[in-house]
Amino acid sequence: MYKVRIASRHPSHKNILRQGQMPKFPVRVRVRFGSKIPHRPCAIDFNSIPAIERTSNKLKMKVVFDRAGVRSPKYIPNNDSGAAAIIDGYLGDKIFFKTPYHSRGRGMKMYDSPQLAVSEQRDGYFEESCISKREFRVHVMDGEAFYVDEKRPRDASMKMKDRPVVKNMENGFKFRRPLRDFPDEVITESIKAVEALGLDFGAADVGLNDDGVWIYEVNTAPSLRTKTRKLYQKVLVKAIWKRILGEDRMEEVEEKSREYNEWLDEQPLTPHTSEINNRDAETD
């Protein structure tokens, strides 16, 4: 029997193993949380290196979304033809510039006019400014959404008109359970985006306003708070047994998953020290 191998540099992922709460399996299994290190192949690998590369490079991700028909803000590369299209109004008046590997608001800048935007010299792409009323993170595994968070302000009294364009930790937002219902497209577009990128699992960042739903990006290394980590452990165990036993033995898969879930539910929600220190970290 073999331990599951976690490929990640983020402490909240390695805590899955540090607490000894994942079972051993009869084959070698590797789970990649954003890691592109070429470890030797296992019998079962979750999230291939090419799929992670398509996801971590946000410009490649936009190309995939475009080809797959995933709803996402319009974009154009930062080159001569892109600059001409921007001046012609292709992306509107307010425009985001993003570097290919931007993260947590870093590597992003908003311009208030096309003329200012085309002065940007860095490699990257321009994106239309889709201002959301609500934003979600939808966690997807094997074609199913198993958990949804909503970005909400830490200060509950913050009015909608006062909310910043970029809703991240630095601007006073954090992920919490949704307060209100949301349209089915939040789920269906998230699943479509994760599958288009060739991922086994991922966390889609979704915007919603009166014009509809769109996908900002998909994360392969989301920070796992204590409760979210337990959910990932449950869906990973089920997905691993499904790969080992096959579709024709789903009753056995469900039984093994149920036994593990019941055991895990009895375990205390005790975070590792490193998680306490990085409780609100978000990783792409």
pLDDT tens digits along 219-277:
999 988 878 899 999 999 999 999 999 999 999 999 999 999 999 998 876 654 444 34
In this structure, of 19-23, 115-119, 212-216, the range with the lowest mean pLDDT score is 19-23
pLDDT for res 166:
59
The pairing of beta strand 134-141 with beta strand 95-103: unpaired
**CATH of the domain spanning 131-219:** 3.30.470.20
Query: Could you count the other beta carbons within 10 Å of the beta carbon of residue 49?
Result: 15
pLDDT for res 267:
83
pLDDT for res 21:
79
pLDDT for res 220:
95
Q: Is the pLDDT of residue 281 over 60?
A: no
Tens of pLDDT, residue by residue over 162-175, are 555 555 555 556 77
CATH 3.30.1490 domain locations along the chain: 75-128
CATH class name, domain 75-128: alpha beta
The pairing of beta strand 144-153 with beta strand 201-209: unpaired
Beta strands in the chain (DSSP E): 4-7, 29-32, 44-46, 75-77, 95-103, 106-111, 125-128, 134-141, 144-153, 173-176, 201-209, 212-219
Tens of pLDDT, residue by residue over 74-114, are 999 999 999 999 999 999 998 999 999 987 667 888 899 99
Residue 163 identity:
R
pLDDT for res 165:
58
Tens of pLDDT, residue by residue over 33-73, are 999 999 988 999 999 999 999 999 999 999 999 999 999 99
Tens of pLDDT, residue by residue over 113-152, are 999 999 999 999 999 988 888 899 999 999 999 999 998 7
pLDDT for res 280:
35
Gyration radius of the chain over CA positions: 20
Residue 125 identity:
Y
CATH 3.30.470.20 domain locations along the chain: 131-219
Instruction: Say if residues 15 and 267 touch (Cβ distance below 8 Å).
Output: no
pLDDT for res 152:
75
